[in-house]
Amino acid sequence: MRHTPSTAGGSNRSAPRDQTTAQSWRRRLSVTPPPTYNKKGRRGVIELEQLPKAQSRYLTVAEVAATLRVSNMTVYRLISSHQLAAVRVGRSYRIREEDVDYYLAQRYSEAVG
């Protein structure tokens, strides 16, 4: 004979553990943007005409690392910390040339002397 938990005295697995868990889930669900649809009604597909500067030149992580004279891992860290904007293509990243220039312009400092 199998034991099945009763709902009167037992725990209900579908109910949240406490009120704060339910609130955190609501917060996470409320901040997600609505899905984008293309002309054919396919979800998650953005038409290239909608993207700004779709004709930009894209660089690999190795090319950006060589340009900045840093290691590949440093470029990956900049991407993961959202300091450098990147596009995921398969399992690799591509970075717009303008985004590299913007990153350098933000960190430009004039020597005071």
| Domain CATH for 56 | 1.10.1660
Does residue 9 lie in a domain region? Answer: no
Does the pLDDT value for residue 2 go beyond 80?
Answer: no
The answer to the question of residue 30 being in a domain is no
- pLDDT, position 8: 57
Domain coverage including residue 92: 52-106
Please name every residue paired with 60 in a beta bridge, in sequence order, or none if there are none. 94
pLDDT tens across 56-83, in order?
A: 899 999 999 999 999 999 999 999 999 9
Residue with the larger pLDDT of the pair 92 and 12: 92
Distance between CA 93 and CA 81 in Å, rounded?
14
Residue at 38 is within a domain: no
CB environment 13-46: b (16+ within 10 A), e (fewer): eeeeeeeeeeeeeeeeeeeeeeeeeeeeeeeeee
> Is 73 in a helix, a strand, or coil?
helix
Q: How many domains does one find in the chain?
A: 1
Which residue did the predictor score with more confidence, 91 or 32? 91
Evaluate whether residue 64 is within a structural domain. Answer: yes
Q: What integer is the mean pLDDT of 78-96?
A: 93
Residue 43 falls inside a structural domain: no
Task: Give per-residue pLDDT as tens, 12-63.
Answer: 555 555 556 655 555 555 555 555 555 666 555 555 555 555 578 999 999 9
Name the residue type at position 58.
Answer: Y
Which element (helix H / strand E) includes 36? none
Residue 39: inside a domain: no
pLDDT at res. 55? 74
